[in-house]
Structure 1
Amino acid sequence: MTPDRGRDHRSTAPDGTLLRGLWWECARPEGIVLIRTPYGAGLHAPIARSWNERGYHCLVQDVRGRYRSQGRWSPYAHEQEDGGAFLAQAAAEHPGLPVVLFGASYAAHTALEAARAAAGAGPPVAAVIALVPALGLAETAWNTDGEPQIRHRIGWWHQHGRTGRSAPPLPPAELDRRTAHARERGAIEAAEDWDWPPEALAGWRRLWTSHRTDLRSRYRRITAPLLVVSGDDDFFHADARRLARAWSAASHFAGGPWGHGLAAGVADPGLRARITAAGGLSRVIDPWLAANGLPGTAAEWTRVLAPAAGARTRSLLDPQTGTWRHERISDDRVHPPGRPVPGG
């Protein structure tokens, strides 16, 4: 294992497909973090090392059909069984170590699906952290008002959705042209002119003919606490809030003045400075882990999480003052009226 790259890791899906990833090891582990991504495990070295510093082994695994993992890449099709395969392996190889499922965007979906595998017959998971979650095919294709998200779906599918490795992004002018073409002719019909192979076209049709996920039904058996992170400018913001409300166990929602790229995507230097001064998302993630009995840094504000069973709580970062507000909520409303909690 090298500090920058991690050690090669292999697990086997129930159908025999070999899934490969990179394992970053912690000297004195108190837990394991699993990240399953379609974007290349090697790109996640900084986040893996940050989990090592918290006291966790960290596996970043390429999802089926992407980069070094075998099989055919079909977005949103195999994440439950593939994630469950690692959980079974981790329980056998590292008994007693709690597993935290972590991911952003598509990787948030893989985390949720692995938790669903554990809620069936697999080893339990200790917690789930879903950042700017892309919950499913329909949730990425349509916003909650029923408007098609054509432009960024064309961009994502061209770059990430068609082959085993990500392609260069479309030039803005070509993306504009394809977007206009799809709006005029229809998203499915327009793709027939884009020289995509039959498998890519089949996946594209599945995207636009899929149905929204009943989150309460899909994840009803999961007992692990959930932390959802979203941003005011994220195009999946409404679905992130929907996920936090639908979760059957305790859920905590963290939001702030960012988009899908989180704080790293904030262009305003003054705002970025205020986010950094407030401790960024670590000011929420680490105390939330500690409050749930996992390696993390305790903070006074986490008293709003008790009693934990079925609780709905949230943390919001004020863009003007650069301070976190932590509060208990009911039916997505503050109850009682929220006041800043010391230590936030």
Structure 2
Amino acid sequence: MTEEPGREHLCRGGDGTPLRGLVWECAKPEGLVVVRTPYDAGRHEATARSWNARGYHCLVQDVRGRYRSEGDWCPFSYEEEDGGQVLVHLLDEFAGLPLVLFGASYAAHTALEAARAVTGNGASPVSAIIALVPALGPAETAWDPQGRPQIRHRIGWWHEHGRHRRSQPPLPPSELDRRVAQARERGVVEAAEHWDWSPSTMTGWRRLWSARRVDPASRYGRIDVPLLVISGDDDFFDDDARRLARAWSAPSHFAGGPWGHGLVGGVADRSLRSRIAAAGGLTRIIDPWLAAQGLPGAPAEWTGILAAASAPHTRSTLDSASGAWRHERTSP
């Protein structure tokens, strides 16, 4: 039996800009998952179908200025406004379905910003948020927790993903090395002035290095929605993910283990991957957590810790040696 392709989907930003994506639908939906990404909605089919298998329609939308969506691409600039407009549209189009915001890295940022946009004095229309290896904001991508500039990461990402509607081939290692050396010698902004980047790209590049770090408590403190944060011990955003989970005012659950920004799929050690798989991987966290929120998922015994009103912050840790999850309540 041939699976149906993702259906073209359109809604508009507040200024009328067409924001397009693909929606994968299931026969008997019990929920709707929304992913807003700069990395091409069409490349997220496997993710969307995994949500279909859980009983959710899944919309994957290209953010403003990327792939199918029109407008100007300016990283971290429009996700609150556009995300809020998208959710208002979807709440009408898919009325009655609980809405889950999901995303990894930049898409985790878009999920948080969309939830922030629709948070008012009443109950949030969002049922749950799942943020994997979240890139909270531009400053978090530019500087590590000790305040050291992440020059190589940022030059590579900006060249590949930050300049055009579609991602470009990565810089050859020798050219990346050359640009990193120039940035260290001349300064990250001054060096980039000689890389033939467009004026709009340079505007975003300057903004990146002058941005302030996000304070999760003040930025997201009004969002009264359960949050699942998934990070990795070797991820460069791990400290930020932990800050987010600790500062969340509604119940939050943090899950981490022996992987980096690529999550379990990026683990090269075969023995370790086998132990992670034997423990159920991240599915062993996501599905029971969803069920504990009253959403389509798969219940598990460990989720009893999520119900303790006196402990709004909880966590799960996968031990690399034993290959077993440990679940516990934590202090704020």
Superposition TM-score, scaled by structure 1 size? 0.94
Query: How far apart are 1:167 and its partner, in Å?
Result: 0.2
Contact 1:248 1:310 survives alignment (8 Å): no
- Which amino acid in the other structure matches residue 258 of structure 1? W
Q: Distance in 1 between matches of 2:75 and 2:3?
A: 31
Q: Distance in 1 between matches of 2:65 and 2:112?
A: 19
User: Which blocks of at least 5 consecutive residues in structure 2 are unaligned?
Assistant: none
Contact 1:119 1:222 survives alignment (8 Å): yes
- Which amino acid in the other structure matches residue 160 of structure 1? H
Query: How far apart are 1:120 and its partner, in Å?
Result: 3.2
Query: How far apart are 1:310 and its partner, in Å?
Result: 6.5
The equivalent residue for 1:166 is 167
User: Which blocks of at least 5 consecutive residues in structure 1 are unaligned?
Assistant: 332-344
1:98-137 matches, within 5 Å, as 98-120=98-120, 124-137=125-138
The equivalent residue for 2:179 is 178
- Alignment of 1:240 with 2:244, yes or no, is no
Q: Distance in 2 between matches of 1:118 and 1:297?
A: 28
The equivalent residue for 1:62 is 62
The equivalent residue for 1:83 is 83
Residues 126-171 of structure 1 show CA distances to partners (whole Å, capped at 9, x for unaligned) of 0000000011010100111101111001110000001110000111
Report the 3-state secondary structure (helix = DSSP H, G, I; strand = E; otherwise coil) of the residue aligned with 1:143: coil
Query: How far apart are 1:5 and its partner, in Å?
Result: 3.4
Report the 3-state secondary structure (helix = DSSP H, G, I; strand = E; otherwise coil) of the residue aligned with 1:293: coil
Q: For residues 119 and 175 of structure 1, do their structure 2 counterparts lie closer, same or farther at Cα, with a shift above 3 Å needed?
A: same
The equivalent residue for 2:34 is 34
- Which amino acid in the other structure matches residue 116 of structure 1? R
Q: Distance in 2 between matches of 1:310 and 1:19?
A: 40
Report the 3-state secondary structure (helix = DSSP H, G, I; strand = E; otherwise coil) of the residue aligned with 1:126: strand
Residues 285-333 of structure 1 show CA distances to partners (whole Å, capped at 9, x for unaligned) of 00000001000000000001112577000000000111000000014xx
Contact 2:311 2:330 survives alignment (8 Å): no
- Alignment of 1:228 with 2:211, yes or no, is no
Report the 3-state secondary structure (helix = DSSP H, G, I; strand = E; otherwise coil) of the residue aligned with 1:201: helix
The equivalent residue for 2:44 is 44
Contact 1:253 1:313 survives alignment (8 Å): yes
The equivalent residue for 1:14 is 14
| Coordinate RMSD, CA, aligned | 1.3
Contact 1:39 1:166 survives alignment (8 Å): yes
The equivalent residue for 1:252 is 253
Query: How far apart are 1:96 and its partner, in Å?
Result: 1.4
Contact 1:228 1:254 survives alignment (8 Å): yes
Report the 3-state secondary structure (helix = DSSP H, G, I; strand = E; otherwise coil) of the residue aligned with 2:32: strand
Q: For residues 267 and 197 of structure 1, do their structure 2 counterparts lie closer, same or farther at Cα, with a shift above 3 Å needed?
A: same
The equivalent residue for 1:319 is 320
Query: How far apart are 1:91 and its partner, in Å?
Result: 1.5
Aligned-pair identity in percent equals: 69
The equivalent residue for 2:97 is 97
- Alignment of 1:286 with 2:287, yes or no, is yes
The equivalent residue for 1:140 is 141
Query: How far apart are 1:265 and its partner, in Å?
Result: 0.5
- Which amino acid in the other structure matches residue 16 of structure 2? G
